[in-house]
């Protein structure tokens, strides 16, 4: 973490946040991925507030956030007692991932303990858990001495917030929300989610900056893509209409300005497919490429925005860039298709969903 530039909240503010959680209120807080909208994981009314505030359907489960008691002893943390109140049947392979990547941007799904609230798991018999790395998230969790459920702190279907100001904009006029300010999120897209609930196999549910390749390299654990197990899975169609991962809906993370992707070197072609758009278009261009010289286009006012060709830096700025562009009143936003390769899977996934759901009508959100 870039702790030097992180405006750490005073302990008085953290105490106030803890009290708010204990009183059944909501607190928005920074994690290294995106900002979360937190509530006491043991309080059903507080959990209900999250769903109402976000406009999130009740069958979309939440992630339980936990922290180890001692921040100075990371390699020696025994996570098992911390997981015990929430999860059961934790495979050896899951512990290898936990010991390697926690605290960090990795969420694991397990069979749930009986006492875990149904409201939290969307009625499923599994539970998602993660230990965030951000120092403010950890300070909050430690002082609270309990677990906090936290979806991304945005209204359902919208771009996740990566700064305190984003959260404020998201809920302005809707809710007087306590927001802990931890600066800009470093990772920038949501955690990788891996499912260990269906036996000994690890299955990727949501790509993120921690990739199956990195997991294999660092732990020896093979992570399967959902499609790879499909043929072996007899119950594949059962409950197929229940979204296990809300981010898996086609139209998620969507800006209100229409957004499309262009193939390498094909920005002009993409523009010509939209002949009715005659005004302002923002085109994102790789920093590794020379200018597209789009000024040639007679009827369109085009501006270039430079984006990083390094996947981690790109991810870190993706939602920031989408939010900023969305507020600048463009008629269309063009982004380059991310290259193939696992390290781009997380941002490709978010960009494709953002395209699908983009545009002012939000038609696709309502159908979710």
* Contacting residues toward ligand TXA, per CB under 6 A: 31, 33-34, 36, 60-63, 107, 109, 121, 124, 126-128, 130, 132, 150-152, 190-191, 193, 205, 244-247
Q: Pick from Mg ion, ligand TXA, none: which does 180 bind, CB < 5 to 8 A by kind? A: none
> How far apart are alpha carbons 250 and 364 in whole angstroms?
8
Give the closest residue to 253 by CA, choosing from 358, 336, 339.
358
Which is nearer to ligand TXA, 33 or 358 (by Cβ)? Answer: 33
Q: CB of residue 260 vs ligand TXA: minimum separation in angstroms?
A: 24
Which is nearer to ligand TXA, 108 or 285 (by Cβ)? Answer: 108
> How far apart are alpha carbons 31 and 47 in whole angstroms?
19
Q: CB of residue 34 vs Mg ion: minimum separation in angstroms?
A: 7
The region of 16-24, 149-157, 191-199, 310-318 touching Mg ion under the rule CB under 5 A is 149-157
> How far apart are alpha carbons 350 and 24 in whole angstroms?
32
> How far apart are alpha carbons 204 and 97 in whole angstroms?
13
Which is nearer to Mg ion, 14 or 348 (by Cβ)? Answer: 348
Q: Pick from Mg ion, ligand TXA, none: which does 163 bind, CB < 5 to 8 A by kind? A: none
> How far apart are alpha carbons 337 and 344 in whole angstroms?
10
Residue of closest CB approach to Mg ion: 152
> How far apart are alpha carbons 57 and 66 in whole angstroms?
24
Cis before residue 224, ω within 30 degrees of 0?
A: no
Q: CB of residue 318 vs Mg ion: minimum separation in angstroms?
A: 14
Cα 7 from chain centre: 22
Indicate which single residue of 20, 53, 152, 358 sits in contact with Mg ion (rule: CB under 5 A).
Answer: 152
The number of residues in the chain equals 368
The region of 47-55, 144-152, 163-171, 215-223 touching Mg ion under the rule CB under 5 A is 144-152
- Chain positions contacting Mg ion, by CB under 5 A: 152
């Amino acid at each position: 973490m870039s702790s030097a530039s992180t405006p750490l909240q005073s302990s008085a503010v953290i105490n106030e946040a803890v009290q708010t959680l204990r009183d059944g209120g909501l607190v928005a807080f920074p994690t290294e991925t995106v900002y979360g909208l937190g509530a006491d994981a043991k309080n059903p009314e507080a959990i209900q507030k999250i769903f109402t505030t976000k406009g999130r359907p009740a069958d979309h489960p939440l992630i339980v956030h936990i922290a180890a008691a001692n921040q100075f002893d990371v390699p020696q943390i025994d996570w098992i007692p911390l997981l015990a109140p929430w999860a059961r049947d934790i495979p050896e392979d899951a512990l290898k991932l936990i010991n390697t990547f926690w605290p960090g941007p990795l969420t694991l799904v397990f069979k749930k303990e009986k006492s875990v609230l149904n409201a939290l798991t969307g009625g499923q018999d599994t539970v998602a858990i993660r230990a965030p790395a951000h120092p403010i998230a950890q300070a909050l969790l430690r002082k609270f001495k309990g677990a906090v459920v936290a979806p991304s702190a945005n209204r359902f279907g919208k771009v996740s917030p990566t700064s305190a100001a984003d959260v404020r904009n998201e809920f302005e006029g809707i809710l007087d929300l306590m927001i802990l300010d931890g600066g800009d999120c470093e990772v920038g897209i949501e955690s990788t989610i891996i499912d260990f609930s269906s036996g000994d196999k690890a299955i990727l549910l949501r790509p993120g900056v921690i990739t199956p390749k990195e997991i294999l390299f660092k732990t020896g654990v093979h992570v399967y893509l959902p499609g790879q197990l499909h043929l072996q899975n007899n119950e594949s169609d059962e409950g197929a209409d229940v979204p296990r991962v809300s981010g898996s809906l086609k139209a998620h993370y969507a800006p209100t300005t229409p957004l499309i992707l262009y193939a390498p070197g094909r920005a002009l072609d993409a523009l010509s497919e939209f002949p009715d758009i005659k005004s302002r278009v923002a085109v994102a261009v790789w920093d590794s490429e020379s200018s597209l010289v789009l000024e040639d286009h007679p009827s369109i006012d085009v501006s270039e925005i430079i984006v990083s060709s390094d996947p981690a830096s790109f991810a870190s700025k993706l939602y920031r860039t989408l939010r900023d562009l969305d507020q600048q009143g463009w008629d269309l936003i063009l982004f380059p298709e991310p290259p193939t390769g696992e390290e781009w899977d997380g941002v490709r996934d978010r960009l494709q969903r953002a395209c699908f759901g983009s545009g002012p009508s939000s038609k696709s959100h309502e159908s979710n």
